[in-house]
Structure 1
């Protein structure tokens, strides 16, 4: 791989990262449209499949969205036959969310889509290059985490 001698600005790299995320999201949405499930419902179905005993509130917290938003999406998924709810015997206020066979087909189809897309995105990269990229992204993420902490601390200072 040839190393360029021109200086790359931080702004240019940030734009490349943002453009990558936008392009990835659009491509994934095109593939996932084939499943017949909307983006937010799809994400919810995947979370439920990974956390089969989670409550509606647990799901909302893990997805960082309101319990009301989860309720609306669950209702739509249930109406279309992707999930069903069963009352928990120990507590009639709680519903157990169960993925149906139709829902499981979407989850399996989605996993195949993700695997295919991951393979295509990293096509042509060596293990060493992937390792280097991963390390660099971890550093960037750590810097963002510090910034988040600073923002939280400032907010506490204003409210405290």
Structure 2
């Protein structure tokens, strides 16, 4: 069951729903309770783990944005990230590139996509691991072929 920001609970999602990365605000209600809000990025469709922690791209698990961020704060941090990425593209030399890449790193840490994990259950990080060789092996194996292909597998 899906609950959108307006409270509509009409859609039922498969175990791995195709969504937009950077983890639209939805809370996924599973049989075993409420999972974290996932805010995926527009125009990209990647499989997202059932717990909402990771999405799969290029056959690797990547951490979703911290779901505890409210929409305004998340958008502000995404804007900072995009500005830093444009600065990397426009950098004129190696030193300038190094400095603005640090801005990208800082922005991704602020979003919860890098750095200390935002979840508090003590689970080991799985970022950059192949889903078939991670704690998500069974989930990945149960996806249909088109979902695995969307994740690069």
Q: Which has the larger share of helix?
A: 1
TM-score of the superposition, structure 2-length normalised? 0.34
Q: Which has the higher contact order (CA 8 A, sep 6+)?
A: 2
Larger Rg: 1
Using the size of structure 1 for normalisation, the TM-score is: 0.33
